Structure 1
Amino acid sequence: MSQALEEHTEELLSAARTATGDELRSLTYFTEEDVEQLYLRSDLSRTADLVGFAESERHGFHAQSLYANTQLGDYFFTVRVFENGYLTRVIANGHGVWVTTDSMEIDRFEELASALAEILRSFDSP
């Protein structure tokens, strides 16, 4: 675990818990090179393919540049909807996190993404 990640793990987890409450399933940090699961709710299995998920979510680094200067404005975050919950990806300053949750109200995703992006912006560039 990098020093920057060690310094910010509790802050990221606290922000995710505050925004999602008991619906928080997992929190995973990633960069272009690394992936580290920071939290997994105790009732869930550790069988998820983090590397596979990371490969998919790393496309977000490229998407940020693709969406730059469009009429949509700046890219903020991505929410993916699944049968058993949601995945929210946030990328800032070369760092990313994805959070999985149970179902929850849609406005809570914006709160979650905003809080996590603010923390990621304080990281040093990878």
Structure 2
Amino acid sequence: MGEIVSDDLADQLVSTCRTAVGDELRSVTYFDENEEEQLYLRGDLEADADLVGFADNERLGFHSQALYEETELGPYQFTMRVFDHGYLTRVIVGDHGAFVTTDAMEMDRFRELASAMGSVLEGE
């Protein structure tokens, strides 16, 4: 850890996500407009995901966040992507964000996860 994100922020994000979703947590990745860093990968998973590709796709959220800023929907909170074997949750605050992958779990837990991630990212 510590390449593009401080060890303190990395530890806070991982700890917060583990607390929010427990053993269903698969991975935590921090990103900004130019770089990404995987902060956590569960031990039973292989590190063969296209991290750069995932991050490039999630960076589109910087543009989306600006588009949604003045809508009647209210402020952007988080984005969820649903897959056959789990979920990806992305939170962007300002010029940085994080995405988390999880196993399947109850939908209510995603709001808790996104809120906790946003609080940590706002603190930076």
TM-score category of the 2 structures, normalised to the smaller one: over 0.9
Residue in 2 that maps onto 1:74: 75
Aligned AA for 1:43? D
Aligned AA for 1:18? T
Residue 117 (structure 2) pairs with residue 116 (structure 1): yes
* TM-score of the aligned structures, taking structure 2 as reference length: 0.95
Residue in 2 that maps onto 1:101: 102
Unpaired segments ≥5 residues, structure 1: none
Give 1:82 shift: 0.2
Residue in 2 that maps onto 1:85: 86
* TM-score of the aligned structures, taking structure 1 as reference length: 0.94
Secondary structure at 1:20 match in 2: helix
In 2, the alpha carbon distance for the partners of 1:5 and 1:75 equals: 25
Give 1:110 shift: 0.5
Per-residue Cα deviation, 1:53-75 (whole angstroms, up to 9, x for no partner): 01100001111100011010000
Q: Percent identity?
A: 58
Alignment of 1:40-55 (within 5 A): 40-55=41-56
In 2, the alpha carbon distance for the partners of 1:93 and 1:119 equals: 12
Secondary structure at 2:40 match in 1: strand
Aligned length: 122
Secondary structure at 2:6 match in 1: helix
Give 1:5 shift: 2.7
In 1, the alpha carbon distance for the partners of 2:66 and 2:9 equals: 25
Residue in 2 that maps onto 1:19: 20
Per-residue Cα deviation, 1:69-95 (whole angstroms, up to 9, x for no partner): 101000000010001100000011211
Unpaired segments ≥5 residues, structure 2: none
CA-based RMSD of the aligned residues comes to 0.9
Give 1:7 shift: 2.0
- Runs of 4+ in structure 1 deviating by more than 2 angstroms, as ranges, are none
Aligned AA for 2:30? Y
